[in-house]
Chains A and B, each alone.
Chain A
Amino acid sequence: MLTLILISLAKVVAILLVIILPLATLLTWVERKQSAVMQDRLGANRADILGLRVWGLFNIIADGIKSFSKEDWVPPFANRFLFNIAPFVGLFAAMVTFAVIPFGPPIHIAGQEIALQVADLNVGFLYILAFGSMGVYSVVLAGWSSNNKYAQLGAMRGISQMISYEVVLGLALVGVVLVHGSVRLPDIVAGQGEHWFGWIPKWGVFTQPLAFLLFLPAAIAETKRVPFDIPEGESEIIGYNLEYSGAKFALFLLGEFIEIVVLSALLATLFFGGWQVPWLADSGFVFGNGATVEMAPLVVTVLRIASFLLKVVFFCWLQLLIRWTLPRFRFDHLLRLGWREMLPLALLNVVVTAFVMLS
């Protein structure tokens, strides 16, 4: 019992310290630098320590110090308790989703098989949706407890957007579940290790292309970033987190970056084979023409974990690219897109997938 708890704890710490927090912090810098490159600017490059600038990486530290030394202001008419817990609710909902994501194949240490996943739930897919839907509470609590009309209006926009796109999100995932016949994420990842004709990997993006095309925008809508950033609208229209300052505002921002990382991990797991490397079997590479490359089990494991991390980094990059490329949706367009265009397509995808699986 105790060893089990210790192993789980070690996995949680590893995920937090190796994947989520470093990536999320780095992303604050990458977002500024990538947008600068895209807009032909030099970008964040002013913070220096003893003349050292390292491409503006010290800006991360400067940002941290800035936000934590600012006044932590609570509006006098706000509900203090709810106002204070709102940013943590969002952070919590984003972080716990990672618990069911397998970030590597099971490894063997001292005769014990250890799954590289914090919680191997039989209902992993529902768990993701359940905690994804809890993110709404951060918005509701922040908007309402601020006791500010603009914050409340922002929260209203946030709720309508998030519950609309949640439906599409869930239905898109149903297609993936149907293909693999399991709601367990390790099963879904294992299923994506097979190939067609020995060459084309059975990744979710190939078995469920429409689901991927629906899942990506719906999930970006859940992270409330451009082109779906009407609940926040940090630059012009103000949003639900308007009354927040200092460290708590920074928590909202950090929560957003953690959502990006988690979403990338989800995309990698559900649609891009998770930790699978194409043509890499347990014994080494096996290609479609029969050629094989033998490899030690340790090398295979390392390659697979690296492949997962690489996919996560790629999707983080892709999301930032989308954020700095597209303009914002108008709100009625956004809701119409969700309910009238994406929802019917998602339903169609489920029905067609079910028929294909039956035949």
Chain B
Amino acid sequence: MDIKTLLELMFGLLTVASAIWVAFTPKLLHAGFSLLFTFFGVAGLYVMLGADFLAAVQVLVYIGGILVLLLFGILLTTAMPTAELTVGGTRRGQGLALGMLLLGLLLLAVFRAGWPLSMNALPETTASDIGKGFMTTWLLPFEVASILLLGAMLGALHLARRAGEDQ
């Protein structure tokens, strides 16, 4: 087994194992920290697939941004860091059903996909192609995403403003 396959397996294992931990640990904060390794594993997989730009953005946005804010939120809420999430009775059944549904959908997608292999060499730089793609072919989805983010930001500002405050 060559070193590349070994690394791919390692990153894959890291992603799956930590994701399982996120789902099954009752401690919220442990789940949060475990998610760090999931994101890191996914970034590693991106690197192995030659998507260096995507990997860097994955680390920057998910690990450096979203997860920090998530943990920040957990830590700021007094009871949350030590809170234990217990799932009982009927909820368990509903969760199982929903999980199975999602699993089915994913499996369907996996088996339906053709997985075509490209014989082209890996592109030298991915960043410029992605940038050009955003500005030409995929301009509309890009703009829709930015409007969505703008809306989320305005909403957050509105929520953060105390009632009766003018500024």
Q: Are A126 and B53 in contact (CB under 8 A)?
A: yes
Interface 9-mer from B7-15, B120-128, B138-146: B120-128
> B26 at interface (Cβ–Cβ under 8 A)?
no
User: In this assembly, does A183 line the interface, its C-beta being within 8 Å of a C-beta of chain B?
Assistant: yes
Q: Taking the complex as formed, is A137 at the interface, i.e. its CB lies under 8 A from any CB of chain B? A: yes
Q: Which of A122, A143, A163 contacts B65 (CB 8 A)?
A: A163
**Is the beta-carbon distance between B68 and A159 smaller than 8 angstroms?**
yes
1/0 per residue, CB under 8 A from A, across B8-36: the answer is 00000000000000000000010001001
Instruction: Tally A residues with Cβ within 8 Å of B.
Output: 28
Q: Which residues of B contact A163 (CB under 8 A)?
A: 65, 68-69, 72
The DSSP consensus for interface residues of chain B is: helix
Q: Which residues of A are found within 8 Å of B57, using beta-carbon distances?
A: 126, 130
A121 to B57, CA, bound (A): 13
Interface residues of A in 182-224 (CB under 8 A from B): 183-184
Chain A residue with the shortest CB-CB distance to B63: A134
Contact yes or no, B69 A152, CB < 8 A: no
- Cβ A140 vs Cβ B71 within 8 A: yes
Contact string, A134-161, partner B, CB cutoff 8 A, digits 1/0? 1011001101100000001001100110
Nearest CB in chain B: distance from A350 CB, A: 15
Given the contacts A155-B75, A159-B72, A133 and B64 also touching, CB distance less than 8 Å: yes
Residues of chain B contacted by A184 (CB below 8 angstroms): 125
| Contact (A126, B56) CB under 8 Å given A133-B68, A183-B127 | yes
The closest CB in chain B to the CB of A132 belongs to B64
Specify which chain B residues have a CB less than 8 angstroms from the CB of A137 in the assembled complex: 36, 68
A122–B68 contact, CB under 8 A?
no
Of A126, A136, A166, A183, most buried by chain B (CB within 10 Å of CB) is: A126
Residues of A within 8 Å of B71, CB to CB, are: 140
A134 touches B125 (CB 8 A): no
Alpha-carbon distance A103/B106, docked complex (angstroms)? 47
Residue B42 is within 8 A (CB to CB) of chain A in the complex: no
Closest B residue to A133 using CB positions: B64
Q: Tell me the minimal C-beta distance from A193 to chain B in angstroms.
A: 21
B56, B76, B81, B125: the one within 8 Å of A130 (CB): B56
Residues in B whose Cβ lies below 8 Å from that of A107: none
Tell me if A306 is interfacial: C-beta within 8 Å of chain B: no
- Which residues on the B side are within 8 Å of A160 (C-beta)? 72
Tell me, yes or no, whether A127 is within 8 Å of chain B by CB: yes
Q: How far is the CB of B159 from chain A (nearest CB, A)?
A: 17
Interface status of A26 (Cβ within 8 A of chain B)? no
On whether A127 and B68 interact (CB within 8 A), knowing A137-B36, A140-B75, the answer reads no
Q: Are A133 and B60 interface neighbours, CB within 8 A?
A: yes
Is B63 a contact partner of A133 (Cβ separation < 8 A)?
Answer: yes
A152 contacts across to B, CB distance below 8 A: 75
CA distance A159 to B72 in the complex (A): 8
Q: In the complex, what's the smallest C-beta–C-beta distance from B69 to chain A, in angstroms?
A: 7
Beyond A123-B126, A133-B68, A140-B68, 7 additional contacts (C-beta under 8 Å) are: A122-B125, A123-B127, A130-B63, A133-B65, A140-B71, A159-B68, A183-B127
For this complex, 21 residue pairs linking A to B, each with C-beta atoms less than 8 Å apart, are A121-B52, A123-B52, A123-B55, A123-B56, A123-B126, A126-B53, A127-B56, A129-B56, A129-B60, A130-B59, A130-B60, A130-B63, A130-B64, A133-B59, A133-B64, A140-B68, A140-B71, A140-B75, A143-B75, A144-B81, A163-B72
The 9 closest A-B pairs by CB, nearest first: A133-B64, A126-B56, A130-B59, A130-B60, A123-B56, A122-B125, A123-B52, A123-B53, A130-B56
